[in-house]
Structure 1
Amino acid sequence: MASAWWPCLILALLSSLAASGFPRSPIRLLGKRSLPEGVANGIEVYSTKINSKVTSRFAHNVVTTRAINRADTAKEVSFDVELPKTAFITNFTLTIDGVTYPGNVKEKEVAKKQYEKAVSQGKTAGLVKASGRKLEKFTVSVTVAAGSKVTFELTYEELLKRHKGKYEMYLKVQPKQLVKHFEIEVDIFEPQGISMLDAEASFITNDLLGSTLTKSFSGKKGHVSFKPSLDQQRSCPTCTDSLLNGDFTITYDVNRESPGNVQIVNGYFVHFFAPQGLPVVPKNVAFVIDISGSMAGRKLEQTKEALLRILEDMKEEDYLNFILFSGDVSTWKEHLVQATPENLQEARTFVKSMEDKGMTNINDGLLRGISMLNKAREEHRIPERSTSIVIMLTDGDANVGESRPEKIQENVRNAIGGKFPLYNLGFGNNLNYNFLENMALENHGFARRIYEDSDADLQLQGFYEEVANPLLTGVEMEYPENAILDLTQNTYQHFYDGSEIVVAGRLVDEDMNSFKADVKGHGATNDLTFTEEVDMKEMEKALQERDYIFGNYIERLWAYLTIEQLLEKRKNAHGEEKENLTAWALDLSLKYHFVTPLTSMVVTKPEDNEDERAIADKPGEDAEATPVSPAMSYLTSYQPPQNPYYYVDGDPHFIIQIPEKDDALCFNIDEAPGTVLRLIQDPVTGLTVNGQIIGDKRGSPDSKTRKTYFGKLGIANAQMDFQVEVTTGKITLWNRAVPSTFSWLDTVTVTQDG
C-alpha cells in the first residue's frame, strides 16, 4: 500500500524542484565529497574486523568496528551490519571510552515497553530489517563526544545449510569509507575433514585477488583471510572512497566416507546425513501456475523462460502436467504424462502459448493439481517407486472462488493428506507470504519468495534444481530407545541430492559407551537402511581438537535447530498447543541468548546523560511486504512533519493541498490495471511524469470496484535527456540512454555540471 503515497511524494518533490530551478544541463552521479583520508563527517572508522568460526556447520560470527570522533563537537556514529536472515543475533555490546554497555535478550513485549518509553523521549533506535534476498540489516547509532572512541561488537550464529553439494557462508562487506585495519578471518573445523574450500568476493579485482585473499585447508581445518591495505581499498589510485562494497562468499564441503556422521559433545549429539551415489527416484510433478492479469508482461515471460529450462532438465522417467489458474482453471493434459521427448516438445509449445487473463483462484488451481496426482497413483499411471510433488507459483492473493486463506489451507491439507509435499513460490511482494509459507510447511514443503528482478527466471530454475533429484523418500532417523531427550525433527518426506538432513538431541546418560543411529528410507529400486555406530572413546579422540573453535557448539546447534523448528510448528498451531510451542521457544531463546521473533535485545547506552534502550528485533520474511503500522512503530523512530501532511491508505489516488488553506482536495480515477496516466506535463521545463496503475490482488471477489494503485512512475525531461523509472523494487535512471539502477537502500546525489 505504500505505493499509494507516491503521487503526494512526487508532486511535492517536483514543486520544490520547479521553485528552485531544475537543472537543465547533463547530470552526473556523485560519490562522497573529498574529505580527509579515512574520515567522514568527522568520524574515523579505524578498524573493522569480521571473525567467523565454524565447527560442524555451526557458524559463530563476531563483527567489530572501532571509530573515533575527530571533530571538535559531538557526532553521531552509526553501525550497520547485514547478516543472513537465517541467523540469530546472540550479543551486541557498545564500548565508549573504555566503558562497555552490554546487550540483554528479553521477551519482546517487555523490551518493547522499555523501548517505546525511550523513543517517546526522542531517542535513537536500534533496528533490524529485511535487506534484499538473503540478508537482514542491523543498524544502531550513538552520539560520541569530541575526541572519544567507540567500539561496536555484534555477534550472531547460524547453521550453514547444504545446497547443491556445498555449504555457503555469506558475508556482506560495506564499510562505506576507507578503514586502516580491515580484516575478515574465517576458521573452519570439520571432524569429517574438509574436501573443498573456496572464497570469492564480488568487489575483488584480479589484481587484489592474490595479494589480499588467502584460503587454505588441510584435514579437519580450513582458513580464509582477507586483509586489504588502505591503498588496496581505494576505488582508484587517487580516490578516497572504498571499493569494498559487495558480497563475500565462502563455500566448502566435507569428506563423506559413510552416508552419515554422528558427533557427541557434553551430553548433546548431532547427526548429519547426506548419502551419495544413489539412483534418483522418479518424480511426478504438478506445476500449478498463476496466469492472472497481474502476471502480465515480464513476470509471465520470466515464468515461461524458467519452465522451458526446467523442461530441459526433466528425466524420461518423470511425469508431469501444467495446471493454469486465473479466474478459472485449465490444464495442459487431462492427466499426468511421461516426460518423453515427444511430450516435452509438446509441453514447450504449450508453455510458450500461455497468456495472462482474469483474477486469481488459488484454491481450485491447487485442488486440481493435487487431485491429478492422487488419481494418477490410484489408477497406477505412474511408477510404484516414484514420488509426487506440487509446485505452485503465484504473485498475489486469492480474489475469486474460495478466497479465505484458512479455508484454502484446510482444503489443501485434506486433499494432500500428508502423502506428498507442496512447494509454494511467491512472485514479488504483493501477496500474503505468511499464508503461502504456512500452507507449504504443514504439507511438508517450504515457501520461497521469487524477487522481481532481471534474474527471476534463474531464481525459479534454481529452486527447481534443489528438488529435481530425490534420492530417498519416507526418511526416518532412529536412535536408541529411552536414551535420548528433546529430539529435533527426525522424519522427512524426501532427501534431495546435494542437501543434508540434520538431527540433534540430548543424551539421557552422558557416560554411555556406545551410540547407534539407524536411517531408513525408500530408494529408487529398494528400501534402504543406513547404520552409524559410535564408540564414545573414539569420538572423544576424534573431537579433541574441537576447542580450536568453541566447545559447546553442539548444544548451541541443538538449541538453534530446536527454536527454528518450534517457530515453524507454531505457525499452524492453535490454542494450548501454540502456547506450549511458544513458551518452549521463548525459554530456549532467553537461555541461549538468541534474538528470535519472540525476543528482543536491549542495550543500555548513554545519551544526554540518560539511559537509552536500543532494540534488535528479528523480522519475519513477510516484513518486506508489510508497511510500518502502529503495531510495528516501536521498530523505528519518528518525528512529526513541520507542515500539514495528507495521505490516504488506498483510494483515492490524488491528494492536492489547497493553497493558503489547511485542507486538501482528494479525487480518484477509476481505470483498469495496466493503464498509464499522464500526471504532469510542463512545456516550460520539459518535465513529464507518467504513472502506471496496478490492481489490488487482495480485493474482495464480491466487490464491484477494484482498488488500484500506482505500481510504476516514470519521470522524463527531454531538454536534459534523462529519465527516471520508479517501482516498488528499484529505481532506474537513464542519462543519455545509459541506465543506472539503485535499490531503495542506496543513497545517490544528482547534480549538474557548472
Structure 2
Amino acid sequence: MNKNVVFVIDISGSMQGQKVKQTREALLKILGDMQPGDYFDLVLFGTRVQSWRGSLVQASEANLRAARDFVQRFTLDEATNLNGGLLRGIEILNKAHESLPELSNHASILIMLTDGDPTEGVTNRSQILKNIREAIRGRFPLYNLGFGHNVDFNFLEVMSMENNGRAQRIYEDRDATQQLQGFYKQVARPLLVDVELQYPEDAVLDLTQHHHKQYYEGSEIVVAGRIADHKLGSFKADVQARGEGQEFRTTCLVDEEEMKKLLQERGHMLENHVERLWAYLTIQELLAKRMKVEGEERAKLSSQALKMSLAYQFVTPLTSMTIRGMADQDGLKPVIDKPPEDSLPLEMLGHRRTFVLSASQPSPTRPSSDINQLPDKVTGVDTDPHFIIHVPQKEDTLCFNINEEPGVILSLVQDPDTGFSVNGQLIGNKDRGPGQHEGTYFGRLGIANPATDFQLEVTPQNITLNPGSGGPVFSWRDQAALRQDGVVVTINKKRNLMVSLDNGATFEVVLHRVWKDSAVHQDFLGFYVLDSHRMSARTHGLLGQFFHPFSFEVLDLHPGSDPTKPDATMVVKNRQLTVTRGLQKDYSKDPRHGAEVSCWFIHNNGAGLIDGVYTDYIVPDIF
C-alpha cells in the first residue's frame, strides 16, 4: 500500500551535537527510501512548532529534494513543545483524510522522535495523553522513538499503546542513525490496514489480541486462544482487512484429520508450547492494559498478570528472579540457558530449574524507571587509570592518575558499615612500543557484599556471579537481568553492566573493546559511580572517599610547561597543591569515543587530594 507519513521531530536544545547530526542523516536516508506514490510532511517542535509544508505532499523528486534541503538547514530551538508538535502532525493527517478522499485508501502513519520531557505548552502528561487520544481517535497508529537515556520512555510507551502503535528506544551510540533507519524499515511497507481475525464464538475462548491497525511486510500477527471441548471440527478463522483500494477477505480452515494425526504424534510437545505462547501473549496484554489505568482496575490487572507469571514461570516486571546454586537430583550443577536478545522469556522445563520466580516487586534501581538512565555528572575511573571526581558544590571536576604495575589490585569503594566493596586489578597495554608510556587499565573488577555472600567478578570477557561457589558465567554478548539479595545486575549486550543496590547506590561498568587503529591493544573496563547518596558516611576507597562533600579553592592561574594547559595553586584539605587544567574523557555515555571533561589534574598519584598515600589503597585480593 502507499502510505501517508508525518515525521514529528524534537529540535529542542538537548538534541544538539551527535543527536541532531544522526537525526539529520537518518531523515535524509529515509527520504531517499520514499516511494513515488507516498505522501509526507515534516513537523519540528522546540519552543515553537513549525511544519515544512503544513499539508501532505507527494514524494516526487522535486518535493523530496526540497525536503532534504529543509532537513539540512533547520536550526535547534530551546524548549520542548511535544504536545503542540504531535497535534500539528495529527492535524495534517486528519485534514488530508477529509479533503483528499483518494488518500483515505493509503496507510497513514505518525512517527515522533524526542529525547526529553515536555517543557513548553501543555506539560501535564495525563493531559497530553488525553489530547493525543482524542485527536487521533483510532484512525492511524502513532510510533514514538525515545532518543537517549533521559527520555521518559514509559510515557512514550503508554501514548503509543493507546494509539495502536508502539515505542522504541534509540540508544545514543555510533549506530543511532542505523537504529532510526531500522525502525523506519519495519513500517515502510504497509500491506493491510484494520486487520481482524474472527472466530466462531462458541468454538473459541480466551482469545489474545485479534484486531491490528496495520500489517507490514516482514511482520507477523499471532493470535492464541483455547478451543472449546469437542469444537475442533468447527474451528476456523475469517480474516478481513483493507488493502490498497480493495477489501481483503480469506477464511482459514482446519483439516480435522490432519490435526488429530499431528496431536497423536506430537501432542504433548505442541500443546505445551502453544499453551505457553498463549500465556506469554496474555501476560503481555495484561501488562500493557495495566500501564493505561490506575487504582482498583490497575491492581486487578496486576494480580491477573502476576498469577499467570508464577503459574507459567515467566519473568515479568511483577516478579523477581533468584538463582539457586544447588545440584539437581542427578548430582549435576545447574545450567543457565541464556535467551537471545529480544526472545521470549527463559523457558524453565523439567526438573533442572535454576531460576526461581517470587511474587515480590523489585525495588526501583534508579530514580527513573529506566535502569540505563545516566545522570549528567558522574564520578569514575577509566583509561590509564584516570580518576574523575565531580564536585557538585563547585560545578567542577578533579582528575588524578595512579601509576602502578600491572597485577596490582586497588580499593575503589569500601563501605565498612555494610561490607560492600569494589576492587579493581590493573593490566598493562599489550604491544607497547619502545619508549611508549607504560599505560595501565582495569582488566578485572570484584564487587562484593559479604553480608549476603554476593560476589560479582567482571572482566572484558566474562561476568561471573559468585565465582567462589561455581556460579553462572555470562558473556558480554548476553542481555540479562539478575537479582540476588537486594542487588540487581543488568548486562546490556556489548555495552555496559549496571549494579544497583536496594539502598539506592548504582554503579556502571563500561566495556572497552579494542578497535582498528586503537592506541590500546587490550580490552579493558571503565567504572562509574552513578548514585552514591545512600552509602554510609564511613565509605572510603580511591573513589569512595569522594562520595562525601568537600571543597577546594583555585588561586594564581598562570602559564604551565604546556602553553595549552595552564597551572594553578589549589587549596584543598588545608594543603596547597600545584594543579594543571586539562581534559579527561568520560566514557559513561559513549564507550567508544567518550566525552571530553575539563578538569584540574592533581599530580603525583593524587598526593594531597587523596587521604594518605596511594599505596594505602593496594589490597591483596579482588574480593
The equivalent of 1:126 in structure 2 is: none
* Residues 370, 646 of structure 1: alpha-carbon distance in 2 compared, 3 angstrom cutoff: closer
Name structure 1 gaps, 5 residues minimum: 1-280, 607-612, 650-656, 669-676, 690-714, 735-754
The equivalent of 2:220 in structure 1 is: 500
The equivalent of 1:724 in structure 2 is: 585
Query: In the TM superposition, what whole-angstrom CA distance separates every residue of 1:703-747 from its partner, at most 9, and x where no partner exists?
Result: xxxxxxxxxxxx9999xxx9634342425479xxxxxxxxxxxxx
* Residues 667, 325 of structure 1: alpha-carbon distance in 2 compared, 3 angstrom cutoff: farther
- The structural deviation recorded for 1:634 is 5.6
How many correspondences in the alignment? 398
Query: In the TM superposition, what whole-angstrom CA distance separates every residue of 1:469-513 from its partner, at most 9, and x where no partner exists?
Result: 111000000011121111000000001011100000011214632
Whether the 8 Å contact between 1:725 and 1:732 is mirrored in structure 2 is: no
The equivalent of 1:433 in structure 2 is: 153
The equivalent of 2:372 in structure 1 is: 624
Whether the 8 Å contact between 1:284 and 1:382 is mirrored in structure 2 is: no
- The structural deviation recorded for 1:545 is 5.0
The equivalent of 2:211 in structure 1 is: 491
The equivalent of 1:338 in structure 2 is: 58
- The structural deviation recorded for 1:357 is 1.9
Q: Distance in 1 between matches of 2:256 and 2:558?
A: 79
* Residues 533, 688 of structure 1: alpha-carbon distance in 2 compared, 3 angstrom cutoff: farther
- The structural deviation recorded for 1:381 is 6.3
* Residues 545, 562 of structure 1: alpha-carbon distance in 2 compared, 3 angstrom cutoff: same
The equivalent of 2:67 in structure 1 is: 347
The equivalent of 1:366 in structure 2 is: 86
Out of 77, 88, 93, the residue aligned to residue 357 of structure 1 is 77
Q: Distance in 2 between matches of 1:661 and 1:555?
A: 54
Whether the 8 Å contact between 1:723 and 1:733 is mirrored in structure 2 is: no
- Is 1:391 aligned to residue 111 of structure 2? yes
Written as runs of structure 1 = structure 2, the 5 A alignment for 1:653-668 is 664-665=549-550
The equivalent of 1:256 in structure 2 is: none
Opposite residue 430 of structure 1, the aligned amino acid is: N
* Residues 310, 667 of structure 1: alpha-carbon distance in 2 compared, 3 angstrom cutoff: farther
Q: Distance in 2 between matches of 1:538 and 1:661?
A: 71
Out of 127, 130, 152, the residue aligned to residue 410 of structure 1 is 130
Q: Secondary structure at the match of 1:437?
A: helix
The equivalent of 1:443 in structure 2 is: 163
* Residues 558, 338 of structure 1: alpha-carbon distance in 2 compared, 3 angstrom cutoff: same
- Is 1:469 aligned to residue 189 of structure 2? yes
* Residues 542, 687 of structure 1: alpha-carbon distance in 2 compared, 3 angstrom cutoff: farther
The equivalent of 1:250 in structure 2 is: none
Q: Secondary structure at the match of 1:398?
A: coil
- Is 1:594 aligned to residue 455 of structure 2? no
- The structural deviation recorded for 1:602 is 4.1
Q: Distance in 1 between matches of 2:182 and 2:116?
A: 21
Q: Distance in 2 between matches of 1:625 and 1:452?
A: 11
Written as runs of structure 1 = structure 2, the 5 A alignment for 1:181-196 is none
Whether the 8 Å contact between 1:514 and 1:535 is mirrored in structure 2 is: no
Whether the 8 Å contact between 2:144 and 2:167 is mirrored in structure 1 is: yes
Whether the 8 Å contact between 2:532 and 2:547 is mirrored in structure 1 is: no
Whether the 8 Å contact between 2:46 and 2:78 is mirrored in structure 1 is: yes
Out of 533, 539, 546, the residue aligned to residue 259 of structure 2 is 539
- The structural deviation recorded for 1:626 is 7.1
* Residues 521, 297 of structure 1: alpha-carbon distance in 2 compared, 3 angstrom cutoff: same
Q: Secondary structure at the match of 2:202?
A: coil
Opposite residue 585 of structure 2, the aligned amino acid is: V
Whether the 8 Å contact between 2:108 and 2:141 is mirrored in structure 1 is: yes
Q: Distance in 2 between matches of 1:313 and 1:581?
A: 42
Q: Which structure would you say has the larger RCO, counting Cα contacts within 8 Å and 6 or more residues apart? A: 1
- The structural deviation recorded for 1:580 is 2.4
Query: In the TM superposition, what whole-angstrom CA distance separates every residue of 1:365-414 from its partner, at most 9, and x where no partner exists?
Result: 00011011111111126523112111000111111111111111111111
Q: Secondary structure at the match of 1:624?
A: coil
Whether the 8 Å contact between 1:716 and 1:723 is mirrored in structure 2 is: no
Opposite residue 411 of structure 1, the aligned amino acid is: N
Percent identity (aligned): 46
- The structural deviation recorded for 1:535 is 2.2
Query: In the TM superposition, what whole-angstrom CA distance separates every residue of 1:4-34 from its partner, at most 9, and x where no partner exists?
Result: xxxxxxxxxxxxxxxxxxxxxxxxxxxxxxx
Q: Secondary structure at the match of 2:207?
A: coil
Out of 235, 242, 258, the residue aligned to residue 522 of structure 1 is 242
Whether the 8 Å contact between 1:393 and 1:425 is mirrored in structure 2 is: yes
Opposite residue 580 of structure 1, the aligned amino acid is: K
With the length of structure 2 as denominator, give the TM-score of the two structures: 0.57
Written as runs of structure 1 = structure 2, the 5 A alignment for 1:696-735 is 724-730=585-591, 732=593
- Considering fraction of residues, name the structure with more strand: 1
- The structural deviation recorded for 1:541 is 2.3
Q: Distance in 2 between matches of 1:667 and 1:540?
A: 80
Q: Distance in 2 between matches of 1:590 and 1:555?
A: 15
Q: Distance in 2 between matches of 1:389 and 1:716?
A: 55
Query: In the TM superposition, what whole-angstrom CA distance separates every residue of 1:198-247 from its partner, at most 9, and x where no partner exists?
Result: xxxxxxxxxxxxxxxxxxxxxxxxxxxxxxxxxxxxxxxxxxxxxxxxxx
Q: Distance in 1 between matches of 2:278 and 2:558?
A: 62
Q: Distance in 1 between matches of 2:580 and 2:269?
A: 56
Out of 23, 27, 49, the residue aligned to residue 329 of structure 1 is 49
Written as runs of structure 1 = structure 2, the 5 A alignment for 1:446-457 is 446-457=166-177
Whether the 8 Å contact between 2:203 and 2:234 is mirrored in structure 1 is: no
Opposite residue 172 of structure 2, the aligned amino acid is: E
Whether the 8 Å contact between 2:96 and 2:103 is mirrored in structure 1 is: no
- The structural deviation recorded for 1:297 is 1.7
Q: Distance in 2 between matches of 1:323 and 1:443?
A: 19
With the length of structure 1 as denominator, give the TM-score of the two structures: 0.48
Q: Distance in 1 between matches of 2:47 and 2:29?
A: 27
Q: Distance in 2 between matches of 1:367 and 1:411?
A: 8
* Residues 527, 603 of structure 1: alpha-carbon distance in 2 compared, 3 angstrom cutoff: same
Written as runs of structure 1 = structure 2, the 5 A alignment for 1:205-284 is 281-284=1-4
Q: Distance in 1 between matches of 2:248 and 2:320?
A: 45
Q: Secondary structure at the match of 1:501?
A: coil
Query: In the TM superposition, what whole-angstrom CA distance separates every residue of 1:430-489 from its partner, at most 9, and x where no partner exists?
Result: 110100111011100000111111111111111011001111000000011121111000
